[in-house]
Amino acid sequence: MKLKANEIVKKVTEHLIKQMESDDNSKWLKGWTNKSFQNLDGHKYSGMNLFWLSMIDGGFLDDKPRDRKIYGTFLQWKNKGLQIKKGAKSIQMLKPIIGSKDVEVETPNGTETATKHYKFFSTFNAFNIEDVEGDISRWDNVDNVNNKSEVEVSTEAETFIANTGATINHVDGGNAYYVPSQDFIFMPTKGNFIKTANASATDGYYGTLFHELTHWTGASSRCNRKLDGWKGSTSYAFEELVAEMGSAFLCNQLGISATPRIDHAKYLKSWVQCLKDKPNALMNASGLANKSLMYLNGLQPKEIKDPALRLDPTKKAYIQKVEVLSLIHI
């Protein structure tokens, strides 16, 4: 079944609405964040492609779930000296197209030439590693999910968090929250997180901290999102959705199994209505969450393997550049 980019976005949105409205409304998050999909070079998919791959993996296209979560194009596999099995079916994924053109605009001084930027999505075909013939042993050690019974320190996650420079105050008990006016995060200590039916203590701790860290990126000096919405408002609920997605993207990148926060059940109705009323709402929330992810990655040392993420967030051009990166890294 060949789909256009806008058809994929529509199907993803409809699928998430259905899961949010289900009896177990935590499935909208658990269903797609407990899997680490990546391409054959190690880049982990996020944003709309993460949603889409998880739906496919769950049988959305009447295809069997794949044990391996690694994908590549025909040419990418060929360049690795491998070939696609006869009769193998590809899946379509989203690819952003970003460009610009000169247009004439009317100004008080007459007609002038201005640059107009545009973006849209096209699709490309990718094959799962199980559809490849040849020696694929180099990908044998790719892990998908960490399942732990108590809070265990993730060195990778702790290093990532420390590199952001965010002020995080750990207190014994209480709730987790970000204070925009003072620009710091309150977090319960690790000892306050216990294993539940849906998550390990480790997953709960880091998932919660990543949620608040996503809020932290919304400050005007960083990604500049609207953080002044009052509780119960649409803008407040939308920011919570962005933070939850941002947390899930970080968990996916750092090998933590994302879990839905209990207090977000009250936002589901607002999220569902927003997705129904505004066809682009999911793309917008996903894009903002991805922008947050790119910002946080930009705060990491230059050793980070993707050169596109080696930008200096202290420079004025960074915020503009990260807008583009949030679209590229899907």
Indicate the burial class of 107 (C-beta count within 10 angstroms; 0-12, 13-18, 19 or more): exposed
Indicate the burial class of 321 (C-beta count within 10 angstroms; 0-12, 13-18, 19 or more): middle
Per-residue model confidence (pLDDT) at position 221: 94
Please, which pLDDT band fits residue 308 given cuts at 50, 70 and 90?
Answer: very low
pTM over 0.85: no
Write the pLDDT tens digit of every residue in 125-162: 999 999 999 998 888 766 444 433 367 889 999 999 99
Nearest C-alpha neighbor of 18 from the set 55, 49, 44 = 55
Amino acid identity for residue 101 in this structure: K
* Residue range 241-265: mean pLDDT, rounded: 78
- CB neighbours of residue 44 within 10 Å: 17
- Calculate what percentage of the chain has a pLDDT beyond 70: 75
- CB neighbours of residue 193 within 10 Å: 21
Angle in degrees, 0-180, between the axes of helices 281-298 and 5-20, rounded to the nearest 10 = 100
Task: Locate the domains of the chain by residue range.
Answer: 5-328
Per-residue model confidence (pLDDT) at position 280: 80
Top-confidence range, 10-14, 60-64, 130-134, 319-323: 130-134
Judge whether residue 86 has pLDDT over 50: yes
Higher pLDDT, 87 or 143: 87
Per-residue model confidence (pLDDT) at position 148: 38
Nearest C-alpha neighbor of 168 from the set 191, 189, 188, 184 = 184
Question: In this structure, what token pair is assigned to residue 281?
Answer: 């709402």
Measured torsion, CA atoms of residues 290, 293, 299, 301, in degrees rounded to the nearest 10: -110
Calpha distance 188→169 (Å, rounded): 8
Looking at 67-81, 156-170, 272-286, which range is the least confident one? Answer: 272-286
Per-residue model confidence (pLDDT) at position 263: 55
Calpha distance 235→238 (Å, rounded): 5
Per-residue model confidence (pLDDT) at position 141: 66
193 and 248 in contact (C-beta within 8 Å)?
no
Write the pLDDT tens digit of every residue in 187-232: 888 877 877 666 788 888 899 899 999 999 999 999 999 888 777 6
- Calculate what percentage of the chain has a pLDDT beyond 90: 25
Query: For strand 184-188 and strand 168-171, is the pairing parallel, antiparallel, or unpaired?
Result: parallel
Judge whether residue 60 has pLDDT over 70: no
- Residues with Cβ within 8 Å of 240's Cβ and at least 6 positions away in sequence, in order, are 264, 267
Write the pLDDT tens digit of every residue in 94-109: 887 777 788 888 888 8
- Per the DSSP assignment, residues forming a β-bridge with 205 are none
